[in-house]
């Protein structure tokens, strides 16, 4: 009897565990574990998604541009510059071709360049090596060219994003010694027209190597009638000193009236040095053709472009840009017969008659 009482007392003090309570505890524990596991998984998924997204973005931005429909020989001349100063945006995969116009002063290169720049996809950036420091040595030349061809060179000709052809004008004789100004009858007496070779001719081997590696196409632009070129140089030099247009010197004009004023001056040509100077210019052009003959190039003459405008279509095909009508506001200064443009025409005529340069005496654009 006593044992039964003791058992009842223990049952009262330590009640039996309820199966419902245990199930509830297990359920709560399972829910906590589930929430924790879900949180960890979501966090890992989020990190993985961000990483994958970044990776995909990098892949898209670095994806190479699709190769345009080109012949195999054209591939080295097609480029996709990545300027550091701006983004080409939607034009990033538009191919760009590099070119250089090699010419001499007063050979129509300024006029020719304005024609090129009238094309919405062509940027010809002028005579950038007229600044001496840029042609001081090969390193500065290469640095300048790299900046130009990477589309980081800014000038009035820059087309920025959608440029399809970019280049410059480079003179074979970067600096022309000006003729001595004599006061005899108000005429300019041509004591000498010395030639100072540009960085192009001085470092032609290194520049040829650069053109070859970079795929730069060359446009040779010369003038057939070197006597007319000389008259233009002398007249331009005179205007630089005396500034006939209201105290302003202009190498190129945009109105017939201005052209008439500049053409009114008739230079005096030194007949004694005439033939040697003509030969010097001729030899310089021949050397340039020899130095850069291995490049992809085309040869143009100013007179041919004036007579036959279809030459400009050939140039656009050479540069790989869509054909369009090229225009220029420049007006030709010296027109008509040379006999009306030279003060001592009789001396010049006697000097050139019977020589290889006799053809220069004839009417404009007659060869």
Residue 8 lies in a domain: no
Report pLDDT for 156.
79
Report pLDDT for 179.
44
Residue span of the structural domain in which 302 resides = 75-175+193-361
Is 274 in a helix, a strand, or coil? helix
pTM, 2 dp: 0.78
Q: Among residues 297, 280, 141, which one has the least CA distance to residue 215?
A: 297
Residue 255 lies in a domain: yes
Residue 266 lies in a domain: yes
Residue 129 lies in a domain: yes
Please, is 343 exposed, middle or buried when counting C-beta atoms within 10 Å of its C-beta (0-12, 13-18, 19+)? middle
Report pLDDT for 110.
96
Report pLDDT for 232.
96
CA-to-CA distance for 198 and 136, rounded, in angstroms?
10
DSSP for 73-110, written as a single string:
GGGGG-B----SSS--GGGTTS-BEEEEEEE-TTSSHH
Report pLDDT for 27.
73
Q: Among residues 332, 334, 331, which one has the least CA distance to residue 265?
A: 334
CA-to-CA distance for 156 and 295, rounded, in angstroms?
28
Residue 54 lies in a domain: no
Residue 17 lies in a domain: no
Report pLDDT for 146.
98
CA-to-CA distance for 242 and 248, rounded, in angstroms?
9
Measure CA of the first residue to CA of the last residue in the chain; give whole Å: 148
Q: Among residues 344, 343, 336, which one has the least CA distance to residue 366?
A: 336
Report pLDDT for 286.
97
Report pLDDT for 46.
52
Report pLDDT for 195.
47
Report pLDDT for 160.
66
Report pLDDT for 239.
95
Residue 94 lies in a domain: yes
Q: How many domains does the chain have?
A: 1
Report pLDDT for 336.
86
Report pLDDT for 37.
73
Q: What is the CATH number of the domain that holds 165?
A: 3.40.50.300
Residue 180 lies in a domain: no
Mean pLDDT per block of 10 residues along the chain (367 residues) reads 48 55 73 71 52 40 72 94 91 95 96 97 95 94 97 83 92 60 37 58 96 98 96 96 94 95 96 97 97 98 94 98 96 92 97 96 62
Report pLDDT for 185.
34
Q: Among residues 290, 251, 305, which one has the least CA distance to residue 126?
A: 251
């Amino acid at each position: 009897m006593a044992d039964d009482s003791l058992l009842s007392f223990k049952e009262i003090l330590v009640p039996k565990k309820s199966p419902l309570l245990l199930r509830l505890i297990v359920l709560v524990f399972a829910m906590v574990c589930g929430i924790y596991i879900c949180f960890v998984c979501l966090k890992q998924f989020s990190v993985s998604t961000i990483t994958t997204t970044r990776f995909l973005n990098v892949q898209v931005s670095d994806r190479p541009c699709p190769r345009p429909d080109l012949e195999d020989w054209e591939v080295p001349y097609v480029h996709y510059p990545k300027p550091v100063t701006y983004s080409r945006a939607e034009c990033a995969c538009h191919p760009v071709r590099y070119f250089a116009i090699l010419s001499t002063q007063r050979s129509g290169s300024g006029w020719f360049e304005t024609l090129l720049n009238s094309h919405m996809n062509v940027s010809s950036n002028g005579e950038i090596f007229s600044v001496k420091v840029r042609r001081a040595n090969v390193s500065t030349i290469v640095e300048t060219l790299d900046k130009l061809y990477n589309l980081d060179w800014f000038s009035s000709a820059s087309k920025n994003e959608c440029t399809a052809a970019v280049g410059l004008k480079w003179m074979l004789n970067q600096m022309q010694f000006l003729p001595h100004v004599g006061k005899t009858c108000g005429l300019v007496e041509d004591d000498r027209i010395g030639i100072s070779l540009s960085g192009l001719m001085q470092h032609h081997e290194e520049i040829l190597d650069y053109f070859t590696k970079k795929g730069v196409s060359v446009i040779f632009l010369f003038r057939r009638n070197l006597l007319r070129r000389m008259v233009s140089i002398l007249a331009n030099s005179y205007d630089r000193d005396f500034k006939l247009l209201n105290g302003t010197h202009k190498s190129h004009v945009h109105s017939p009236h201005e052209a008439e004023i500049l053409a009114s001056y008739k230079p005096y040509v030194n007949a004694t040095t005439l033939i040697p100077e003509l030969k010097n210019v001729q030899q310089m052009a021949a050397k340039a053709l020899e130095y850069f003959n291995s490049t992809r190039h085309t040869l143009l003459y100013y007179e041919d472009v004036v007579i036959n405008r279809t030459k400009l279509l050939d140039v656009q095909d050479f540069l790989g840009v869509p054909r369009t009508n090229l225009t220029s506001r420049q007006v030709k200064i010296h027109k008509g017969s040379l006999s009306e443009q030279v003060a001592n025409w009789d001396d010049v005529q006697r000097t050139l008659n019977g020589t290889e340069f006799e053809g220069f005496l004839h009417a404009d654009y007659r060869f």
